[in-house]
Amino acid sequence: MIPENTRRELEWAVTAFRSEKERWPCTAFELWTFARTLGKTLEFAGFHTLRFEPVNSVLLSAEYVRMPDAEGWSESGTLTILAAEAADGLRWKAHWMWGPIRRVEPLNFCEMSKAYRRAG
């Protein structure tokens, strides 16, 4: 399970990004960079993948897979964030939905880099 402080930090960063940029983040790296400009550090080390999919200007869906355990099993799920207009600005509702446990292959960035060079 994702630690409470990691969930809250991620929710804060996404909503701060949306408020300031008036759009949703495209990647985890873009969100991480934005948080750094505000003096905050986001901890993504526990994630195997984190993918943002804006549904529209007020709804974001983020799919995640946590780092696998020693046997390769990992928690997955979805975070949805809804922005609602209020008299004093935007109000946010975040909903975490835990998905199935799945088997994932460990990421090997050296091999990914070689494949990327061949494709490019």
- pLDDT, tens digit, for every residue of 1-39? 788 999 999 999 999 999 999 999 999 999 999 999 999
| Structural domain count of the chain | 1
Name the pTM for this structure: 0.79
Which two tokens mark 17?
Answer: 């990004």
Amino acid at position 4, single letter: E
> What's the domain range around 113?
4-119
Amino acid at position 95, single letter: H
**Strands of the sheet with 89-98, listed across from one edge:** 47-56, 59-66, 76-86, 89-98
Give me the pLDDT at residue 23, please.
94
Give me the pLDDT at residue 110, please.
54
Strand ranges for 5-116 from DSSP E: 47-56, 59-66, 73-74, 76-86, 89-98, 102-103
- Reported as a single tens digit per residue, the pLDDT across 65-86 is 999 888 889 999 999 999 887 7
Which two tokens mark 100?
Answer: 């199935």
Give me the pLDDT at residue 43, please.
87
